[in-house]
Structure 1
Amino acid sequence: MKKSGFMEKTIRGVIAFALISTLLAGCGKSTDNGVKEDISKETSASGGTIDVDFWTAPEQYNLKIWTSYADKFNAAKVELNGKTIKLNVQMMPAQPSSEAGIQNAIATGTVPAISENINRSFANILNSSEALYDISSEDWYKDIVAERQIENVMEGWEIEGAQYVIPLYVNPIGYCYNSKALQALGVTEIPQTMDDFNTLLTKYKDQGDTLSKDGISHFMYRAELLNAANYWERWFDIESQYNAFSKGTPLVDGNMLTADKDALTKVFALYGSIGDKVLTGTIDGLWQQETVPVVMGIGLPWDVSANIAAGKTYGIDGDYVFGPTLVENEGDTHYNYADSKGIVLYKNDAISEEEHQGAIEFLKFVFTGEGKDTFDIDWLNATTMLPVRGDLEANDMFASYFGENPALKDISTFVADAIPGMAHEKGADIITALGEKAVAPFATNLLPSVGINENPDVSSYVDDAMEAMKTAGELE
């Protein structure tokens, strides 16, 4: 499902409050007579039990699956230092955002030992306040990476040589095509390269009048190009295709603007080649419409459930079909954007060492222990979000599920090439500036003024994009 962006400016303010609160509170709590009692060495053990708090994403299905595995874990009566670990599960606060809720919990000493729902960018912010454990050297972490075959994936999650997140799910972002439009245009294969795309675009230009009579009025839908405020939309319409053209070169690395300007130019040029046939009027539930008015749009995996509910059939001979980001040459890697979140372990004076170790025991139970052969299928059935594994295509465990869910099977082939977002504390500011200073003006002023294959000069917008990102992030 779609996950909205977090409120980084608010969060940075809460970080400051958290640090001040920590300094004022020290490592103790006050007794009735006002004497500060040292609790830094206390454990959570009471009557031989270690209580470990786990926060799920603020969704009912996340709560349900994690509660079921907590129940299994608790039934196993796993012991640590002679005490039984008890896993307690609840949803994290959702307002004003889950990220702000986590920061408030850090400030008030109510943060759990462990939670899901953390992306790479937010992990970097949490790490800047020393709120997370670096797990890169832990044997149990290495075992999880090996079991899930995600060694290559973890390279994209590294933050300054450290690892803070165990990635849990991924929505790789490609394209979605109107199968009926492809059929009308005589296209039998999903576009893979820019040559394929240009062939499709030319066919549309030649047959546009005929398609229009059937209700297909535009080539591509992307209303969000006009929306600079929702910065996360740039992950989907700019950054994913940029990743493919740049062969995985990050927009930002550390405090450096490393964007491949030529690759970014090609992204703007792609939209420019479509011109006024980019549909920017808002349509709720595009792919659930009786007549889909476009040939293609951004491929968002969280649309699948709604499409199924609307009675839509998946496949090249059905109603809609997913395809990868476009590459210049056959054989190039279809890098894309990974809308992905995972699990972290919190470091806080309110969390005892036994609670921390208890949380680790739960992770071991789920990912390398009793739950390793069932969790991912249960997760898929509960959320329809692809688990982060390097063997999704080859593992027989998923054969039956993908046989019944062909859309997710196709999307799963994009997972290995999906790259998570930048790790920069001003990531939201950087991407917002990209939208405000370049993408929205481009979509508002240039696209409506040109037709298909007129290939306008986009260089000024790319220059604005580069300068805007550099300025917003105070980048070198």
Structure 2
Amino acid sequence: MKTMKLAAFAAMALLLSGCGPEEKNQQSIKMWVAPNVTQEVYWGEIVKEWNSNPANRKVEFTPIPAAGSSEEAIMNALASGTEPDISTNIFIGFARQLTELKQLNDYSKMPGFQALVETRHMGNAMASWKFDGQQNVIPIYISPIVYWWRSDLLADYGFDHVPVTYDEIYTLSERMTQSHKGYSLQITSGKNWWDRWFDFVPLYYAASQGSPYIQNNKATFNNDAGVQTLTFINKMFANKWTSYDFTASDDPLAAGTVLGAVRGPWDIDRYHKQFPEVLKTIRIGQMPTLTGDAEAATMADSKGMVMFSTSKVQPDAWKFIQWVYSNPKNDLRWLELTGMPPAREDLQSNPVFKSYLQQHELVNAIASFVPKAVPPAPITKTVEVQRTMTQMIEKLVFKNSPITEVIQASSQEIDNTLGQ
């Protein structure tokens, strides 16, 4: 009788809590994804297929809630205890911050981790995302930062190839000056802190063979590679071969105001819809260097997936992640929908991707740079550091400050910021 009463009491407690035994066991995996239409379509397809198997714990995904940024939305959720089990759209600096706050699971401790790394051919990418001895992020994609060039306009100035050295760009710029038509290159991407990911950082990586610009909480770009990079930027502005005043609404490459500019794989679809004739002229080029080294590095614009340490369904969430990234057909679908190269080193050798890449010449050209793409510094104060870099460039452009002076001052300010 006592046992029956206890059982009845337990059943009543579950009823009052709003879930019976079966419902409790069916707690879903909560997932947040980037608030982006194509990525939501992708995850919709993936989740639907996963959920179609009754043996799988169901996944429920929603876009990261609206806020000032994805990072702000996630931090608010962590503060209120409403965070999901897993989330995409995590950049390396934020991942470092979440790791220091002990909010993320270490994937390397999960069963089958190394097998997944090998199956997806993402060993180099995972190594780049390792910090504090942990692997807290599965990188989803790697979009190498590259230049798009107008081959039709290059031909007008005697170039049958994209420029790869500083001197070639100087020659091109001088020829344009004589014709008084526009600028040769959009060398800076904008005035916001994140724009340094698309100009100074990739140019420095190219000049330094991929060496870090921040290491052990110290700026390391006050060196020959840093001076080369700023000398190139400074000469372009000093000779009025470029401009700092392109607005966000402008597309000087499409308009022909410049012959070359950094654009991303996400721009291919936009150009296809808005500037289809221009798109036919586009050729992909590396970050220029002093010598035009064909193996020059660049920056990887990359985001990844994390699992929060508070998740109550970690084994099943991990099974879902393994299922997604163990099948190259899922990465192919990602590539088809987003145009952004998946974070794997076998894109151009794996037959799964061969047909797509053959039919999409620009994506294939961009994908060729994936092995040379290095993620930005894994630091928690990315905004402050890159605002300092912005001020460094503006001192060159507007104050004609000596290169050695601005690079030393910027490095010291960054050291002070990261040492706090």
TM-score by length of 2: 0.88
1:72-106 Cα deviation digits (max 9, x unpaired)? 1111123xxxxx51111111113121111111111
Structure 1 position 208, deviation (Å)? 2.9
Structure 1 position 47, deviation (Å)? 5.5
Provide the rounded CA distance (Å) in 1 between the counterparts of 2:159 and 2:24. 68
Indicate whether 1:234 and 2:199 are aligned: no
Indicate whether 1:201 and 2:187 are aligned: no
Partner of 2:89: 117
Indicate whether 1:394 and 2:349 are aligned: yes
1:349-391 Cα deviation digits (max 9, x unpaired)? xx31xx11111111122122xxx14211211222222111101
Indicate whether 1:425 and 2:380 are aligned: yes
User: CA separation of 1:170/1:460 partners in 2, compared to 1, >3 Å: closer, same or farther?
Assistant: same
Provide the rounded CA distance (Å) in 1 between the counterparts of 2:387 and 2:340. 26
Provide the rounded CA distance (Å) in 1 between the counterparts of 2:176 and 2:217. 48
Provide the rounded CA distance (Å) in 2 between the counterparts of 1:48 and 1:160. 35
* SS at 2:396 equivalent: helix
From 111, 121, 124, the equivalent of 1:152 is 124
From 229, 240, 246, the equivalent of 1:267 is 229
Provide the rounded CA distance (Å) in 2 between the counterparts of 1:200 and 1:119. 32
From 339, 360, 367, the equivalent of 1:384 is 339
Provide the rounded CA distance (Å) in 1 between the counterparts of 2:282 and 2:398. 28
Indicate whether 1:184 and 2:161 are aligned: no
Provide the rounded CA distance (Å) in 2 between the counterparts of 1:301 and 1:104. 31
Indicate whether 1:444 and 2:398 are aligned: yes
**8 Å contact kept, 2:105–2:136:** yes
* SS at 2:149 equivalent: strand
Provide the rounded CA distance (Å) in 2 between the counterparts of 1:43 and 1:142. 38
Amino acid in structure 2 at the alignment position of 1:465? S
* SS at 1:430 equivalent: helix
Partner of 2:141: 169
Partner of 1:107: 79
Amino acid in structure 2 at the alignment position of 1:306? R
Partner of 1:326: 288
**8 Å contact kept, 1:433–1:472:** no
User: CA separation of 1:238/1:245 partners in 2, compared to 1, >3 Å: closer, same or farther?
Assistant: same
**8 Å contact kept, 2:220–2:411:** no
For structure 1, which segment, 90-99 or 197-206, has the greater mean C-alpha deviation from structure 2 after superposition? Answer: 197-206
Partner of 1:309: 273
* SS at 2:47 equivalent: helix
Partner of 1:246: 208
Amino acid in structure 1 at the alignment position of 2:229? V
**8 Å contact kept, 1:61–1:382:** yes
Indicate whether 1:53 and 2:15 are aligned: no
1:297-338 Cα deviation digits (max 9, x unpaired)? 2243332221111243578xx422221112444656321111
* SS at 1:468 equivalent: helix
**8 Å contact kept, 1:322–1:410:** yes
Indicate whether 1:71 and 2:48 are aligned: yes
Aligned residues: 400
Structure 1 position 345, deviation (Å)? 0.5
Partner of 2:405: 460
User: CA separation of 1:462/1:385 partners in 2, compared to 1, >3 Å: closer, same or farther?
Assistant: same
Q: Compute the RMSD of aligned alpha carbons.
A: 2.4
Provide the rounded CA distance (Å) in 2 between the counterparts of 1:44 and 1:69. 28
Structure 1 position 242, deviation (Å)? 0.4
Partner of 1:357: 315
**8 Å contact kept, 1:288–1:306:** no
From 355, 362, 372, the equivalent of 1:407 is 362
Larger relative helix fraction: 2
Amino acid in structure 2 at the alignment position of 1:89? F
Amino acid in structure 2 at the alignment position of 1:60? V
For structure 2, the residue ranges without an aligned partner over 5 or more in a row are 1-16
Provide the rounded CA distance (Å) in 1 between the counterparts of 2:93 and 2:375. 9
Partner of 2:242: 278
1:185-227 Cα deviation digits (max 9, x unpaired)? 22112233x2xx41342243145333x3xxx3112224645x2
Provide the rounded CA distance (Å) in 2 between the counterparts of 1:168 and 1:421. 15
Provide the rounded CA distance (Å) in 2 between the counterparts of 1:139 and 1:325. 39
For structure 1, the residue ranges without an aligned partner over 5 or more in a row are 1-38, 79-83, 447-455
Provide the rounded CA distance (Å) in 1 between the counterparts of 2:359 and 2:227. 40
Indicate whether 1:89 and 2:53 are aligned: no
Indicate whether 1:218 and 2:183 are aligned: yes
**8 Å contact kept, 1:313–1:320:** no
**8 Å contact kept, 1:135–1:163:** yes
Between the aligned residues of both structures, percent identity stands at 24
User: CA separation of 1:68/1:47 partners in 2, compared to 1, >3 Å: closer, same or farther?
Assistant: same
Provide the rounded CA distance (Å) in 1 between the counterparts of 2:21 and 2:99. 24
Provide the rounded CA distance (Å) in 2 between the counterparts of 1:117 and 1:281. 30
* SS at 2:61 equivalent: strand
From 258, 261, 267, the equivalent of 1:297 is 261
Provide the rounded CA distance (Å) in 2 between the counterparts of 1:439 and 1:91. 36
* SS at 1:425 equivalent: coil
**8 Å contact kept, 2:167–2:290:** no
